[in-house]
Amino acid sequence: MPLKKFRKFMGFFQTRGADKPEYVEVPYAEQFDKGILLCNKCGARLDFGESLKVENCRSCGTAAFIPMRFKEYLIYKPLGGGGEGFVYKARRANSEERFAVKFVPPSKRSERKLHERLLRDAATISAIGPHKNIVELVESGEEDGNAYLVFRFVAGERLDEYISRKRHLSDRRALNIAMQIIEAEKYICSRGFLYRDLKPENILLDKNGNVKLCDFGLCIPESEALVHGLAHDELEGSPFYLPPERIIGRSEGQFSEIYSLGMILYHMLKGETYFSETEINELVAKHIEPATGKQMSEKLSTHNPKLVALIENMTAQDPAHRHQDFGSMMKDLKSIEDEVVQKPTLFLQTKTRKIKISELKNNA
Burial of 161 (0-12, 13-18, 19+ CB in 10 A): middle
Of the candidates 244, 236, 229, the residue with the CA atom closest to the CA atom of residue 320: 244
Q: Give the range of the structural domain holding residue 108, as residue numbers without chain letter.
A: 5-152
Q: Give residue 249's Cα distance to chain centre.
A: 23
Nearest to 107 by CA among 82, 142, 74: 82
8 contacts: CB under 8 Å, gap ≥ 6:
82, 83
Q: How many CB atoms sit inside 10 A of residue 278's CB?
A: 6
29: CATH: 3.30.200.20
Q: Along the chain (364 residues), what's the average pLDDT of each consecutive run of 10 residues? A: 38 36 56 80 83 87 88 90 85 87 88 93 96 97 93 96 96 97 98 97 96 94 80 71 90 96 97 81 77 77 95 95 96 94 58 47 46
DSSP E strand boundaries for 154-245: 156-158, 193-194, 203-206, 211-213, 220-221, 234-235
Residue 351 lies in a domain: no
Q: In terms of domains, do 106 and 192 share one?
A: no
143 & 20 share domain? yes
168 and 233 belong to one structural domain = yes
Do 133 and 163 sit in the same domain of this protein?
A: no
The structure's pTM equals 0.83
pLDDT digits (tens, 9 = 90+) for 261-274: 999 999 999 999 99
d(Cα 203, Cα 157) in Å, to the nearest integer?
9
31 shares its domain with 47 = yes
DSSP at 201: G
Q: What pLDDT is attached to residue 11?
A: 33
State whether 142 and 164 are in the same domain.
Answer: no
- pLDDT tens digits for 194-205? 999 999 999 999
Residues with catalytic roles? 197
Domain-embedded: residue 362: no
352 lies in some domain: no
